[in-house]
Amino acid sequence: MTGGDPILDIRGLATEFHTSRGPVRAVDGIDLSVGPGETVALVGESGCGKTTTAFSVLRLIPRHRGRVVAGEIRFDRLDLATLDERSLRRIRGNRIAMIFQDPASALNPLMTVGAQIAEAVRLHRGLGRAAARAETEALLRAVRIPEPRRRLDEFPHQLSGGMRQRVMIALALSCRPRLLIADEPTTALDVTVQAQILALIEELKQEFGMSVLLITHDLAVVAEVADRVAVMYAGRKVEEAPVSRLFAAPRHPYTRALLASIPDPDADTGGGAAAQPLPEIPGRVQPAGSRIEGCAFAERCAIAADICRQAAPPEALSGDGAAVFCHHAAPEDAGQIAAAVEGRL
Amino acid sequence: MAEADPFLKRFGRNRPAAIGAVLLLAVTAGGLLAPMLSAPDPWAMVARPFLWPGSDPRFPLGTDMLGRDLLAGILHGARVSLLVGLIATAAAAFVGISIGALAGYYGGRIDNLLMRLTELFQIVPPFILAVVLVVILEPSVGTIILAIAAISWPQLARLTRAEVLSIREREYVEAAVSVGMSDRRIIFREILPNAAPPLLVSTSLAVATSILLESSLSFLGLGDPNVMSWGTMVGAGREVLRSAWYVCAVPGVAILVTVLAINLVGEGLNDALDPKRRRR
Amino acid sequence: MRRSRILAYAGRRLLQAVPLILAVAVLNFLLLQIAPGDAAEVLAGEAGTATPEYMARLREEFGLDQPMHVQLWNMLLRLLQLDLGHSFRHGVPVLELILDRLPATLLLMLTTLGVSVLFGVLLGTLAARGANGVVDAIISVGAMIAYATPVFWIGLMMIVLFSVELRWLPSGGMTTITGDREGLALVADIAWHMILPVTTMSFFFIAIYCRIMRASVLNVMEEDYVTTARAKGLSELAILPRHTMRNALLPIVTLAGLHLSTLLGGSVLIETVFAWPGLGRLTFDAVFQRDLNLLLGILFVCSVLVVLMNLLVDLLYFWIDPRIEVD
């Protein structure tokens, strides 16, 4: 951890979606914190609740779709989970900004990119039309968009995917946020562009002095930029550790399975640290929401015992902020887990 | 009938559609039983003129400026409205679906030509074209049906074409082509049955539009002079609008109820045939 | 650069309109052919009422004794000179009659379209915002009923209520007969007379636009860029016009363009009910007097009008939706 009190501190967050068959819990009691200047990655397979967690922080889930039902989201001595709409709007896009998976659909097709950025600048910083335009141009320059003045008056469809994501980043940075939430920021982009965007985020993080909460399913990206990693499975956090430790010594069977299924980077021809597809793990993800008594991963776990199906695993803490939720996480079990995972794969 | 059950259930559970179906049945029954429920001749002067609705129990809807029973007019008018609506729509559906299917199935120059023709009919203001046709051919039930059919087919042709275009690409059609099935068989056995649900919905809604068109034409004095029609009744009532507005109001309500009923049934069909399209 | 390409596109579309207009002319010619009896009789109105001299003049003027293709050719040549023939009933050239009445109809039509789009969009957005609530239910039921009501009947009922019973509004005409108003007073007087016809004709179109807009807003509300706008810190009220409604409006524009020809047809009924001195009223008179030449002329001019207005709508679309490429 980079030190200091966390910028964002999530405690026991639970988020439900309304469905025709009643409420479905997509996020089920997550703890997560992001320190100043830190990049925390939230990883997991699609449908595990990581994007819902990100959306919950700014309460971006439309009211008719679902809502945060429990927990605290501490940001700057405020609780975003219960904050009134007005005050929350002053934080959105201002002190916490967000970028999304698909920049093609995240930008309004009928507005020029300049107008879309200027909208945020004028809203939060109270700048006039001309000043906002100048500031927008500076922002486009900051995200390394060539010919920023000309780009101001272009529409999203006139830009490439990478350029659009740069516009999204410029928009996110427009009010110098303290926290950037990046939801799969490179997934929809070409492989060659992915590395550029990641490098840009990293660079701007230093320059603007912000923290990053990175949502991704791509472990190669995690290895590249994250300081700390939290692994999610079926709406719950199963393991959290500093990035080097997680890759070196994963403790949860799920984490191990995830890591074990990444191809050896040395054997990879040319692609380097580019995105790896989601690893194949035996079994299917429990649909987030179906209530589980015991460990959510029990059904797919190679070493699951009776206790795993009966009781939720307790949090096993160790030093340096690492934690794991597994009945078999005691050090003496480590060898057994490793053997079982090897055997399965 | 066992397979029809879920469909009927979905339709029945939809309350607006059920209301529409009941109203439509009532209108149909009224039209069919018109001679028994009221005077056999709606033109007959049976009572004192200008009897307001409710003032004489023998004539619940009152009488017009010539002492004709408005109820008799409404019941006989239902016959014309439904008859014209159904036959004109059937004719439009026949032409529209044929043209749309040909254009969509064969594509290329046939498609181009047929779609240009459809486009032409969308440029010419449809109602004015119907008016001109009825004027040229002299007003009668037959010419009114022809005129309405003539302006109603393009919409169904476009819809059919779009459906056929998408269905043509599906595997079972390609399979049928590869085993050498004839074009006619493919169109009638493979494609059209699969395009039926949206076509059925549009066709049922077209009946409502046809009834509105018929009443509009007869309101303008282009109704069949030998047949009592709701539009004709409204048109005739205009002359006494200031003193006896009910003469206009009553047949208008009949049009409104009938058209609304058909639209409700059509929407119900739409929801029942396409359960995937969740109503939000 | 885009502007010059749009101009080029407009020119190309105008050229494409030429065969379409020719086709309308041929359709007109065919309509004349299917009429029972001697075409001269049809053109003259009810057979027997026209003088023999006039019939002879008609036969000569239209070359009715010549072969069909020659007749068609002659007709096209006349069209090229903007000659739509003569109205027997009115004793003046058809085109003159039509152009005289056109402005009144365009005023009524375009006002109706504007009012309909405005209220349809507002009500549809309102219904979508409260989807499945009470407001939505009321608006949806209202739209369903308005969609099923014959327009001429609404008009008559409006006259009964607002002119006969309440005496608030004039029951017909375009101006007050007694007054010789000028300038602003005249504009106000015309606007006053427009309230009832425009309201009447709008019911139907508001119903359509309201339903389309409701569905469209519900779709757009699920779009990622609306989430982006929310994440920017904009309030729901600020998001609505700039992000949601603007995008949701696109299908309405398409539909409104298609409705231009429906509106021209509807004006026949509205102008008949409200004695509005436009093309629709002229059509009704022509029907009443069986003035076929005038009717065919109206059909032709209206079709050309629709072609031209569709072109304008296409250009409007370029202005609204920057994604559309000019080719």
**Are residues A171 and C242, on separate chains, in Cβ contact within 8 Å?**
no
Which of 52-91 (C) contact A at CB < 8 A? none
Could you report the per-residue pLDDT of B45-100, keeping only the tens digit for each? 777 777 788 777 777 787 777 878 888 888 888 889 999 999 999 999 999 999 99
The answer, for A119 touching chain C at a CB cutoff of 8 Å, is yes
Measured in angstroms, the CA of A155 and the nearest CA of chain C are apart by 7
Residue type, B37: L
* Most confident listed range (A2-6, B179-183, C39-43, C164-168): C164-168
Q: Angle at Cα B208 formed by Cα C268 and Cα B256, nearest 5°?
A: 75
Residue type, C14: L
Diameter over CA atoms, chain C: 81
Percent above pLDDT 70 for chain B:
93
Task: Indicate whether A116 and A192 sit together in one domain.
Answer: no
Strands (DSSP E) found in chain A? 8-19, 22-34, 39-43, 66-75, 78-79, 96-99, 179-183, 211-216, 228-233, 236-242, 315-317, 323-325
Task: Indicate whether A258 and A339 sit together in one domain.
Answer: yes
The answer, for C247 touching chain A at a CB cutoff of 8 Å, is yes
In a mutational test of the B interface, the residue from C132, C261, C268 whose CB has the highest number of chain B CBs within 10 Å is C261
Evaluate whether A18 touches A66 at the Cβ level (below 8 Å): yes
Q: Is residue C142 classed exposed, middle or buried when 0-12, 13-18 and 19+ CB atoms within 10 A define those classes?
A: middle
Question: From CA C1, how far away is CA B188, in angstroms rounded?
Answer: 50
Question: From CA C311, how far away is CA C326, in angstroms rounded?
Answer: 13
The answer to whether residue B8 scores a pLDDT higher than 70 is no
Ordered by start, the domain boundaries in chain C are 104-278+306-320
Percent above pLDDT 90 for chain C:
45
User: Chain A residues with CB inside 8 Å of C231's CB?
Assistant: 58, 60, 92-93, 97-98
Q: Angle at Cα B41 formed by Cα B40 and Cα B43, nearest 5°?
A: 160
Task: Indicate whether A226 and A299 sit together in one domain.
Answer: no
Evaluate whether A185 touches A62 at the Cβ level (below 8 Å): no
Residue C292: name the closest of A220, B160, B137, A247 by CA.
B137
C291 CB-near residues (< 8 Å, 6+ apart): C45, C87, C88, C89, C90, C285
The answer, for B6 touching chain C at a CB cutoff of 8 Å, is no
User: Chain C residues with CB inside 8 Å of A89's CB?
Assistant: 233-235
Evaluate whether C245 touches C152 at the Cβ level (below 8 Å): no
HSE-CB of C233 using CA atoms within 13 angstroms: 26
Question: From CA A171, how far away is CA C233, in angstroms rounded?
Answer: 12
User: Chain C residues with CB inside 8 Å of B159's CB?
Assistant: none
Domain count within chain A: 3
Task: Indicate whether A18 and A82 sit together in one domain.
Answer: yes
Domain span at A288: 252-265+277-321+328-344
Residue C51 pLDDT class (50, 70, 90 cuts)? confident
Residue type, A319: G
Residue A265: name the closest of A295, A294, A224, A235 by CA.
A224
Residue type, A174: S
The answer, for A157 touching chain C at a CB cutoff of 8 Å, is yes
- Arithmetic mean of pLDDT, B251-278: 84
User: Chain C residues with CB inside 8 Å of A110's CB?
Assistant: 246-247, 320-322
Residue C143: name the closest of C60, C223, C209 by CA.
C209
Instruction: Tell me if A169 is assigned to some domain.
Output: yes
CATH domain C104-278+306-320 topology: MetI-like fold (1.10.3720)
**In 10 A of CB A255, how many CB atoms?**
27
In a mutational test of the C interface, the residue from A110, A153, A155 whose CB has the highest number of chain C CBs within 10 Å is A110
The answer to whether residue C89 scores a pLDDT higher than 80 is no
User: Chain C residues with CB inside 8 Å of B221's CB?
Assistant: 287-288
Evaluate whether C270 touches C155 at the Cβ level (below 8 Å): yes
The answer to whether residue C34 scores a pLDDT higher than 50 is yes
Question: From CA B14, how far away is CA B23, in angstroms rounded?
Answer: 15
User: Chain C residues with CB inside 8 Å of B16's CB?
Assistant: 144
Question: From CA B68, how far away is CA A285, in angstroms rounded?
Answer: 75
The predicted pLDDT at position C212 comes to: 93
Task: Indicate whether A73 and A3 sit together in one domain.
Answer: yes
Q: Angle at Cα A123 formed by Cα A122 and Cα A125, nearest 5°?
A: 65
The answer, for A168 touching chain C at a CB cutoff of 8 Å, is yes
Higher pLDDT, A13 or B178: A13
The predicted pLDDT at position A277 comes to: 43
Nearest to C265 among B126, B248, B280 (CB): B126
Residues of chain A under the 50 pLDDT cut: 1-2, 267-279, 284, 344-345
The answer, for C243 touching chain A at a CB cutoff of 8 Å, is yes
The predicted pLDDT at position A91 comes to: 92
User: Chain C residues with CB inside 8 Å of A108's CB?
Assistant: 225, 228-229, 242-243, 246-247
The answer, for B201 touching chain C at a CB cutoff of 8 Å, is no
**Are residues B127 and C164, on separate chains, in Cβ contact within 8 Å?**
no
Evaluate whether A89 touches A169 at the Cβ level (below 8 Å): no
**Are residues A108 and C225, on separate chains, in Cβ contact within 8 Å?**
yes
Could you report the per-residue pLDDT of B193-224, keeping only the tens digit for each? 888 888 988 999 999 999 999 999 999 999 88
Residues B17-37 as b or e (16 or more Cβ within 10 Å = b): beebbebbeebeebbeebeee
Residue C125: name the closest of C239, C250, C245 by CA.
C245
Nearest CA in chain C to B259: C148
C64 CB-near residues (< 8 Å, 6+ apart): C38, C39, C40, C58, C71
Architecture of the structural domain at B15-23+58-278? Orthogonal Bundle (1.10)
Question: From CA C225, how far away is CA C159, in angstroms rounded?
Answer: 47
In a mutational test of the C interface, the residue from B135, B159, B210, B233 whose CB has the highest number of chain C CBs within 10 Å is B135
Nearest to C231 among A92, A111, A157 (CB): A92
Evaluate whether B114 touches C271 at the Cβ level (below 8 Å): no
The predicted pLDDT at position B49 comes to: 78
Helix (H/G/I), strand (E/B), else coil: A214 = strand
Nearest to C299 among B16, B132, B215 (CB): B132
Which of 104-133 (C) contact A at CB < 8 A? 131
Helix (H) or strand (E) holding C305: helix C292-320
**Are residues C320 and A110, on separate chains, in Cβ contact within 8 Å?**
yes
A270 CB-near residues (< 8 Å, 6+ apart): none
Question: From CA B165, how far away is CA B191, in angstroms rounded?
Answer: 10
Nearest CA in chain C to A120: C232
The answer to whether residue C283 scores a pLDDT higher than 80 is yes
Residue B27: name the closest of B280, B225, B263, B255 by CA.
B255
- Subunits that touch chain C (at least 3 Cβ pairs < 8 angstroms)? A, B
Task: Indicate whether A27 and A74 sit together in one domain.
Answer: yes
Task: Indicate whether A78 and A187 sit together in one domain.
Answer: yes
User: Chain A residues with CB inside 8 Å of C224's CB?
Assistant: 100, 102, 105-106
Q: Is the ipTM of this complex over 0.95?
A: no
**What average pLDDT does the structure give for chain C?**
86
The predicted pLDDT at position A21 comes to: 75
Confidence (pTM)? 0.85
Lowest mean pLDDT across B91-100, B156-165, B172-181: B172-181
Which of 59-88 (B) contact C at CB < 8 A? none
Torsions phi, psi for C237 (to 5 deg): -70, -30
Ordered by start, the domain boundaries in chain B are 15-23+58-278
Nearest CA in chain C to A181: C231
Higher pLDDT, C175 or B86: B86
Torsions phi, psi for A12 (to 5 deg): 60, 35
Strands (DSSP E) found in chain C? 86-87, 92-93
For chains B and C, CB pairs below 8 A equal 142
Question: From CA C99, how far away is CA B147, in angstroms rounded?
Answer: 27
The predicted pLDDT at position A38 comes to: 92
Torsions phi, psi for A10 (to 5 deg): -100, 130
Helix (H) or strand (E) holding C101: helix C94-129
Q: The tokens of B142 are what?
A: 């037959």
- Arithmetic mean of pLDDT, B251-273: 90
